[in-house]
Amino acid sequence: MTDEFRGYETAPWQLCWRGLAVDQLQRTESTFALGNGHIGVRGTLEEGEPRGLPGTYLNGFYEEHELPYAEGGYGYPEAGQTVVNVTDGKIIRLLVEDEPFDMRYGQAVVHDRTLDFRTGTLTRNTEWISPTGRHVRVRTQRLVSFTQRAVVAIRYEVEPLDGDTQVVLQSDLLANEPIESDTSDPRVAAALQNPLENEFSFAEGYRAALVHRTRRSGLRMAAAMDHLIESPDGLRTTIDVEDDLARLTIAVDVPHGKVLRLTKFLAYGWSAQRSIPALRAQVDAGLAGAVQTGWDGLLAEQKAYLDDFWDTADIQVDGDPELQQATRFALFHILQAGARGESRAIPGKGLTGPGYDGHAFWDTESFVLQVLTYTLPEAARDALSWRHSTLDKARDRAAQLGLRGAAFPWRSINGAECSAYWPAGTAAFHVSADISDAVARYLAASADEEFERGCGTEILTETARLWMSLGHFDSHNRFRIDGVTGPDEYSAVADNNVYTNLMARRNLREAAASCTRLPEIADRLGVTEQEIAKWRDAAARMFVPYDEELQVHPQSEGFTEHLDWEFANTPMADYPLLLHYPYFDLYRRQVVKQADLVLALHLCGDSFTPEEKARNFAYYEARTVRDSSLSAATQSVIAAEVGHLDLAYDYLGEAALTDLHDVHNNVRNGLHMASLAGAWLGFVAGFGGMRDHDGELTFAPRLPSNLDRLEFRMCFRGSKFAVEIHADRATYRLLDGKPAEITHHGTPCTIGESPVTLPIPELHPGTAPRQPVGRIPSRRQPERLRPAQGLPQP
């Protein structure tokens, strides 16, 4: 079929693509992915073909491979970890009068796919005329359950439109699915080639199960399927099983006007320790629960769960329909990445694709957990509990590096460092402070003493010990942290990175405060009063470089003395720079891959004056090229704070639409969770001006000229409230719980039973900052949109 427009329709609560664009399948398979933090399934068609990149993932399930080194060195990680495409249960093949239902053949009169953010389902509607002229309607709907963690469910309906038709369905469990890997590393490709070894196969009636084990990492996973069939008379079924395939075949003559309806239930589980019978019992129990609940029950549970989520987390944007859609899309995928992770990591791509090998980065704590802390705090707690569960590995890594405390990895699946590039990996010690920052934020926002006793104090303590071991007092009695890499990966192994030093200072202070609050936990961890005093002294004397001549903070010591990058002579085709220039040249120039010092202005904003923020932002705007998807959101937040609201609006659009517009041309490998979180940050921390320094909430709301109104919701210490922003005023409204104490543009107020409306003071920003040549963010043009066609609206 032809499709005049190749893109998504704009609707507030849905993402819809009409028509079939085969060359865009990898992209839409990522955006239409479903997950719950435990299971992730890419949005491939049920028939299995045509396809871009199939994928079914279990959080934390990986295979090992050797790491590539041209020349090794002491302390280099030895083993890499790569997420595995596990047993695919999405496949339901259809034959119509012995002709395979394949969208590349015949004619698709109608075809659309819709991801619904309120029901948590992906729906497909197709009317297809086969090459020999048979006309059928196929409707599918799938979900990954938020309420039943192990469960995926699919409903598949076939309706003949031109007479009685013989229909055959083949419902599969398929392991070791053939995939063309696009990795350039032959070690990774080899690890992903048939990574699963069969240990058990079973099939009987409508039910089947397969148990497999990875060849090197030794992890075991099980997948099982069961079915309910609503059919005309004359149904015939057979079920077969092999090592890597279980298949239920259904054949029946469907009269014109009747429907063959198949409901497929799937259950997944994995373990590093449980036996084959135990794991099989786990998925059997998951299936039993799903079948007992039924399709309608699963749908009702899914919608109820999402109703509760949106009641706490929704953001309403008036004046930009595309940004409204993108924001809810972002929040929905953040929810899918973390809702049921339950002491597992939140990978950089969530469970939407194999990008970054399925690794978790510091993106989780510094971006994603900010969102979850104030919208779904139990998910933030789970993600931080995973970090705590990996403390032994972090201690071992620190010891290997000759340090005390815990050195958390830059990238990992199981908690062990697996970055083969040590300047960006090993030297990025800021990760440990980022994790501690997220712990402190969660504790302040939740008052969760149980978590602090069980996990929080220990994380804060071990990371504080790392900084005392890594840093030292110099001859001026300043505490220095030398030879580290900050968030900007174009400046590696530098001395006194301002972001790292300020985050380490906060880490030391938070560790001292937690140990003082809980002396019995401190005693168990061997923390003495003398150690706490040393933490506080190091924090008080932390060296924060400042360039008196330029009146800005150098990103790291000496950074402002480097040569500037010649942006005017850099072709646009040479971005991202790391793919076209040697790292050593980037390291010795004033060129910034992603917000670094500017990120410090946000997360450690209480360490800068307003004037310093404005000067620093302008200075680094002229040097930041945004070769990382992490950058735009932070630039949006600080642009809003210093008064450049329309620039903030443009950066927010870039962050929120990174995946829907495929800004970095890599959505095929999965979505960018941190950039999706950036949509929330741009609205709440940017235009809402929300800050949480010292555990207190403050707001300084302002609107850009393109928006008519903004409202966001959040929870804090058991209170749920909404903030509504207009050009001249803001209203704070308590939705549930006890009154909340906040500050509005410096004025303390209480959000209580009655809404509080306060004026927004005028702002007079200085000269607009300039960006490097060709790196200005795209202007937002919300009027150039494709309206939804026939989609139900709220």
CA contacts within 13 A on the Cβ side of 161: 14
540 exposure class (CB count in 10 Å sphere: 0-12, 13-18, 19+)? exposed
Give, to the nearest 10 degrees, the angle between helix 645-656 and helix 321-338.
50
Buried b (16+ CB within 10 A) or exposed e, 160-185: beeeebebbbbbbbbbbbeeebeeeb
State the residue for tokens 């309206």: 787
- Secondary structure of 217-232 in the HEC alphabet? CCCEEEEEEEEEEECC
Name residue 137's beta-bridge partners: 127, 159
Residue 748, preceding peptide bond in cis (omega within 30° of 0) = no
Tell me if residue 27 falls in helix, strand or coil: helix
With beta carbons less than 8 A apart as the criterion, state whether 637 and 602 touch. Answer: yes
What is the helix, strand, coil percentage profile of the chain, to 5? Answer: 35, 25, 40
Give dist(CA 499, CA 502) in Å, integer: 5
Residue 103 contacts residue 66 (beta carbons within 8 Å) = no
Q: What is the 3-state secondary structure (H, E, C) of 747-758?
A: EEEEECCCCEEE
Query: Which two tokens mark 127?
Result: 């009317």
Annotated active-site residue 157? The verdict is: no
Pairing of strands 236-241, 709-716: unpaired
Return the axis-axis angle of helices 673-681 and 321-338, rounded to nearest 10°. 120
What is the C-alpha to C-alpha distance for residues 298 and 304, in angstroms, rounded to an integer? 10
The b-or-e profile of 27-42 (16+ CB within 10 A means b, else e) is bbbbbbbbbbbbbbbb
CA 75 → CA 63, 242, 512, distances in Å? 22, 44, 30
DSSP states along 93-135: EEEETTEE--TTSSEEEEEEEEEETTTTEEEEEEEEE-TT--E
CA dihedral 450, 453, 458, 464 (to 10 degrees): 100
Task: Starting at the earlier edge strand, list the strands of the sheet with 719-725.
Answer: 315-318, 709-716, 719-725, 729-736, 756-759
- Give yes or no for a contact between 562 and 589, defined as CB atoms under 8 angstroms apart: yes
Residues 557, 496: contact at Cβ < 8 Å?
Answer: yes
Question: Rounded to whole angstroms, what are the CA distances from 514 to 36, 459, 523?
Answer: 32, 10, 12
Task: Residue 633: count other Cβ atoms within 10 Å of its Cβ.
Answer: 29
DSSP state of 240: E
Catalytic option among 29, 462, 489, 557: 489
User: Could you give the CA distance from residue 596 to residue 612 in angstroms, rounded to a whole number?
Assistant: 15
Count CA within 13 A, CB hemisphere, residue 217: 28
> Three-state SS across 333-398?
HHHHHHCCCCCCCCCCCCCCCCHHHHCECCHHHHHHHHHHHHHCHHHHHHHHHHHHHCHHHHHHHH
Q: How many residues does the chain have?
A: 794
Nearest alpha carbon to residue 579 among 622, 624, 628, 621: 628
DSSP sequence for 630-685 = THHHHHHHHHHHTT-HHHHHHHHHHHHTTTTTTTTS-GGG---HHHHHHHHHIIII
Active site (catalytic) residues: 489
